[in-house]
Amino acid sequence: MKTKLISLLLIVSASAIGQINFESGYFINNNNQRIECLIKNADWKNNPTEFDYKTSTSAETEKGTLSSVKEFGITDFSRYVRVDTKIDLSSTDVNILSKTSDPEWSQKIMFLKVLVEGKASLYYYENNGLIRFFYATDSDTIVKQLIYKEYFDQKNKDYVEAFDISSNNKFHAQLWTDVRCPSTTTNVIEQLKYQKSELQKYFIKYNKCFSSTPLVYGKKTGEDFFHLKICPGINYSSIAVSNLPSSIYEGFTADFGNQASFRIGLEGELTLPFNRNKWAVFLEPTFEYYNSNQELSNVNLTVRLNTIEFPAGLRYYSFLNHGIKLFADVIFIPAYFVPLDSKLIKENTVSSILPESYKLQSNPSFAFGGGIMHKKYSAEFRYYTNRDIMNNYPRWDSEYMRFSLILGFRIL
């Protein structure tokens, strides 16, 4: 039974991680030819320098690169254009900030992501934490960087260690000169932050101001970032405990055997805003129980494990057709749980010694899961690594093993 469940779990997990999604798109080569194709959509966090594409579903995978492609895009999702322009590569690490407000320019060829396209267009670049915005207008089509730089400002010239962090906000002046509605005030521009959401809104408003309908790329369509799901299921669990021998009495081992029991959780999932919603983190407070009795030659043992656990995990989605998604989970289970009447009771059946009661506590452990989701419904197999529920008692040892079949229904 265990071997079959592990094999199925590994197959589902491998399928989820290995799945490749090629989506409808195009690219323009150096001869200005537009080629319709299928592009592997990685929803790149860092701006790409190349991409994989196929000319048909059965064709071999090929690569588009900075040297061969002027522009590429994924239908109704993203567009990238090749530019050769100056970029400020000043460090944004507060530990090694520059001591000058001047940008540290480098000439660079790169694919810029189009955020807003219209009378004035906004572009985005990110690479390992370095974020820069660029712009162009219909009256000046040369793509230029919007300048913003944080730097150490030496306030006291006589004391070399007296530095404050200041910022060069020249992008405010650039917007005032080149991208401004007649009704826009200096106060509106001076309050703008060098952030994607604020600059995107500003460029959209500017284009609409001149009756130009902008194209906005990368918007989430029908996808929310937070989901809430009820997760009932069945646990298939086993518990075994061992009492180590001493000089007074012999030790013993009790195997309480396998038991199917009900479990229910409430999962809160937060989708991470990159790789096209393929990654998520989640927290799933879960009620579980296991109650059993074992009679040995002169000892009667009862185990009651009724708990609320707080598993937290990382999830990877792979999108298939018709709204179907495969997923794989890696889960951390903290040592802390709410012990709702969780204890081991040891009763000597050949003497009048009062029963001994041991409070069940645990060590941290992990779980691995894989499953399938369709719209609001999901199903998952999950394997838990061993937990020692007698962790606080040095003369006791235990093994608590579980498999779970978990069904899910999204309520938010």
Which range, of 133-137, 153-157, 319-323, 405-409, averages the lowest pLDDT? 153-157
Please state whether beta strands 338-339 and 343-348 pair in parallel, antiparallel, or not at all (unpaired). unpaired
* Tens of pLDDT, residues 227-251: 999 999 999 999 998 888 766 667 7
Q: What is the pLDDT of residues 378-400, one digit of tens each?
A: 999 999 999 888 888 888 888 99
Q: Round to whole Å and give the CA distance between 150 and 141.
A: 27
Domain ranges of the chain: 21-76, 79-219, 226-410
Give the pLDDT band (50/70/90) at residue 8.
very low
Q: Give Cα 298 distance to the centre of its chain.
A: 53
CA distance 333 to 341: 20
First and final C-alpha spacing in the chain:
35
Q: Residue 93 has what pLDDT?
A: 85
- In CATH, what class is 226-410? mainly beta
pLDDT at residue 350, rounded to an integer: 65
User: 88-93 contacts: CB < 8 A, separation 24 or more?
Assistant: 88/132, 88/145, 88/147, 88/149, 89/130, 90/149, 90/151, 92/129, 92/130, 92/131, 92/150
| pLDDT (tens digit per residue) in 328-359 | 999 999 987 787 888 888 887 666 566 688 88
Residue 245 phi, psi (nearest 5): -70, 155
Mapped onto helix, strand or coil, the DSSP state of residue 387 is: strand
Going by the DSSP 8-state scheme, the letter that residue 61 receives in this structure is: P
Residue 1 has pLDDT above 50, yes or no: no
Strands (E), 89-225: 105-117, 120-127, 130-137, 140-146, 149-154, 163-168, 215-216
Q: Give the model's pLDDT for residue 354.
A: 60
* The pLDDT of residue 22: 84
Q: Is 193 buried (19+), middle (13-18) or exposed (0-12) by CB count in 10 A?
A: exposed
The residue among 355, 362, 372, 359 whose CA lies nearest residue 406 is 372
Query: What would the two tokens of residue 127 be?
Result: 């690479």
Distance CA 182, CA 199 (A): 18
pLDDT at 237: 93
- Confidence at 5, pLDDT banded by 50, 70, 90: very low
Query: Helices (DSSP H) in 245-348: which residue ranges?
Result: none
Task: State the pLDDT at residue 45.
Answer: 85
**pLDDT of res. 385:** 94
What pTM was estimated for this model as a whole? Answer: 0.58
Kindly indicate the confidence band of residue 125, based on its pLDDT and cuts at 50, 70 and 90. very high
Query: Which helix H or strand E contains 294, and what residues bound it?
Result: strand 286-295
Rounded mean pLDDT, 192-204: 94
